[in-house]
Amino acid sequence: MNQLVAAHRTLPFGSMVRVTNLNNGLHIDVRIIDRGPFVSGRIIDLSLAAAKAINMVGSGIAPVRIEVLTAGSTVSNIFSVQVGAFQQRENAERLQAQFMARYPVYLQEYDAPAGHFYRVRVGRTTTQQEAEQLASQLASENGFQTFVVRLDGIQ
């Protein structure tokens, strides 16, 4: 939270991006080190230090422009669709079971400031475009709020 870092759903880890707050013109360069945000309509999560640098702390959100400065080392070009995140493993496993007959399904554990979570991700595609199509299909068929993510380091 005290480093100039950010989370993005699909940019490779290690990518450097310039984030410009369109409300005031201030910008900051950050390194992508995590996946997110998993809130509809948001494109990047900034660390506290980065948000302070461009005066976003008070509002918490702002319209921004993102420019990729350098692409990080891509561990994989495999994409998936996140369909849920749960604090209870049983809930994640229940959702996982719904999709197992039709798709590869991945359950990923992770620690966040709000606690321990289990992400449920469906499908495995080699392009972001294919993943976006799957996300739209899953959203329309099942009413899920979906997010395309890169599966860095997951085989």
Q: Between residues 10 and 59, which one has the greater pLDDT?
A: 10
Question: What average pLDDT is seen over the chain?
Answer: 88
- What is the architecture, at CATH level 2, of domain 5-70? Beta Barrel (2.40)
Whole-number Cα distances in Å, 3 to 18, 62, 79, 81, 115: 15, 20, 27, 28, 21
Whole-number Cα distances in Å, 122 to 25, 100, 136: 38, 9, 12
Do residues 148 and 97 make contact, with C-beta atoms less than 8 angstroms apart?
Answer: no
pLDDT surpassing 50 at residue 102: yes
- pLDDT for 143: 85
- Match 């606690």 to its residue by tokens: 115
Tokens of 80: 């998936």
Measured distance CA(73)–CA(149) in Å, rounded: 16
- pLDDT for 74: 60
Measured distance CA(22)–CA(127) in Å, rounded: 30
49-86 confidence digits (pLDDT tens): 999 999 998 877 899 999 999 877 666 678 999 999 99
Mean pLDDT within 93-116: 88
Tokens of 117: 């979570």
- pLDDT for 153: 57
Q: Between residues 57 and 19, which one has the greater pLDDT?
A: 19
Tally of CB atoms within 10 A around 77: 12
What dotted CATH number matches 79-150? 3.30.70.1070
Measured distance CA(112)–CA(55) in Å, rounded: 24
pLDDT surpassing 80 at residue 1: no
User: Where does the pLDDT of residue 5 fall: very low under 50, low under 70, confident under 90, or very high at 90 and above?
Assistant: very high
User: Where does the pLDDT of residue 155 fall: very low under 50, low under 70, confident under 90, or very high at 90 and above?
Assistant: very low
Q: Between residues 115 and 48, which one has the greater pLDDT?
A: 48
Q: Where are the domains of the chain?
A: 5-70, 79-150
Beta bridge partners of 80: 149
pLDDT surpassing 80 at residue 92: yes
